[in-house]
Amino acid sequence: MHGDIMIWQVLLLTLYSMYQIWDDLTIVSSLSQPVWAGLIAGAIMGDVTKGLIIGGSLQLTVLGVGTFGGSSKIDANSGTILATAFSISAGMNASTAVAAIGVPVASLMIETDILGRFTNTFFQHRIDRLIDEENYSAIERNYLYGVFPWMLSRGIPVFLALQFGGNFVSVAVKVLDTHLQWLSNGLAAAGALLPAVGFAILLRYLPVKKHIAYLILGFTLTALFSTLYTNVQTLGTTMAAVSKGFAGSFNSVSMVAIALIGLAFAINEYKKNVEKQQFTELASAYKNSTPENIEKNEEGEIYGDED
C-alpha cells in the first residue's frame, strides 16, 4: 500500500496546484495558503489530520514571507502538497516531511515561478503589437493567455514529482528509518524548529523596537500559562487513571484568550493615536485659520461701519 499514489490523486493534486496560483493572483480567498494545501491534499490522500499538521507547520515557516514588488516568494503551497502526499503515501513522519520534502520543494519552485513570469513577457509583446492593430478581442485574449504560464509553472513540476517521485521517496523513508536514524531525528527537529524562522521573518517586518514591551508581554504571559495548563492537564490525566471518582476535563491554554489581552492593548493604542492625530489636526487648523479669521473680522467691522 505504501509508496503508491493513485493516478486520480495525482490529477486532483495537480489540478489544485494549478488552481491555487490563480486564486493567489486574483481573488485571494486564502485557498492558496499552505494550511489549505495541507487540508486539501490531506483530504485527497485520506489523512486530513496529517495534512493539517504539515500545512500548519509550513504556514508558520513562511508567516512573514510576502511578495513585494513582483519578487518571487518561496512556494510553500506546492511544498505542502508534495510533503503531504508523500508523507501519507510513504508513511513518513510529519515533521520530517516538512523539512525533508516541503522546504526543498518550496524553494526549488521559486525557479518555475520566475520562468512563468518570464514567459508572460511574450504575451505582453503581442498585446503591444495588437494595440497598433486595434484588435480589441485579441488584446483581451492574449492577456488571458497569461493564465497558462502561471498554472503550468505549478502544475507541471507537481505532476512530475507526484507521478515519478513516489518510489524514490519510499526508498528514502526506508533508509532513513533503518540506517540513518540520526538524520531522521535531525530532520524532525528541524521541522519543529522551522516555525521559529517564520516568526523571526515576521518580526523583521514589524516595528519590534517600538513595541518591544508587547513582545515580552505576549511571550512571557503565554510561556507561563501554557506551562501551567500543560502541567494541570498531566496532573488531571494521571489522577483520572488512579482514582475512578475523579472526573473533570482539562483543556490546553486558550490562544483566543491570550490574543484578546493583546487586542485590548491594540484598541488602546488605536484610540490614543486617533486622539493624538485629531489634536494635531486641530492645532494646525487653529494655526492656519487664525490670521484669516482676524482679517474677516476686520473686514466685517469695516462693512459694519459703512452701513
Partner 1 sequence: MAMKTNYKITKKDFNQINRRNLFFNQLGWNYEKMQGSGYLFIMLPQLRKLYGDHTPELKKAMKTHNQFFNTNPSVNTIIQGIDLAIESKEGIESLETVSGLKTGLMGPLAAIGDSIFASLLPAILGAIAANMAVQGNPFGLLIWLVANFIIMYIRWIQLPLAYREGTTLVTKMQGRLNALTDAATLLGVYVVGALVATLISIQVPFVAHIGKVTVTLQNEIDMILPKLVPGLLVGLIYWLLGRKKMTSTKAIFIVIIVAIVCSALGILGKG
Q: Measured from the CB atom, is 165 or 191 closer to partner 1?
A: 191
- Regarding 160 and contact with partner 1 (CB under 8 A), the answer is no
> Taking contact as CB under 8 A, which single stretch among the options 1-9, 11-19, 171-179, 200-208 is the one that binds partner 1?
200-208
- Could you give the string, one character per residue 173-192, with x where binding to partner 1 holds by CB under 8 A and - elsewhere? ---------xx-xxxxxxxx
Helix/strand/coil (H/E/C) assignment for every residue in the chain: CCCCCCHHHHHHHHHHHHHHHHHHHCCCCCCCCHHHHHHHHHHHHCCHHHHHHHHHHHHHHCCCCCCCCCCCCCCHHHHHHHHHHHHHHHCCCHHHHHHHHHHHHHHHHHHHHHHHHHHHHHHHHHHHHHHHHCCHHHHHHHHHCCHHHHHHHHHHHHHHHHHHCHHHHHHHHHHHHHCCHHHHHHHHHHHHHHHHHHHHHHHHHCCCCCCHHHHHHHHHHHHHHHHHHHHHHHHHHHHHHHCCCCCCCCCCCCHHHHHHHHHHHHHHHHHHHHHHHHHHHHHHHHHHHHHHHHHHHHHHHHHHHHC
Which of 17, 20, 61, 153 is the binder for partner 1 (CB under 8 A)? 61
> Taking contact as CB under 8 A, which single stretch among the options 25-33, 157-165, 232-240, 297-305 is the one that binds partner 1?
25-33
Q: Measured from the CB atom, is 15 or 115 closer to partner 1?
A: 115
- Which residues 85-114 are close enough to bind partner 1 by CB under 8 A? 95, 99, 103, 107, 110
Which of 13, 55, 87, 153 is the binder for partner 1 (CB under 8 A)? 55
- Regarding 240 and contact with partner 1 (CB under 8 A), the answer is no
- Regarding 144 and contact with partner 1 (CB under 8 A), the answer is yes
In whole angstroms, the minimum distance from the beta carbon of 102 to partner 1 comes to: 10
Which of 15, 22, 152, 232 is the binder for partner 1 (CB under 8 A)? 22
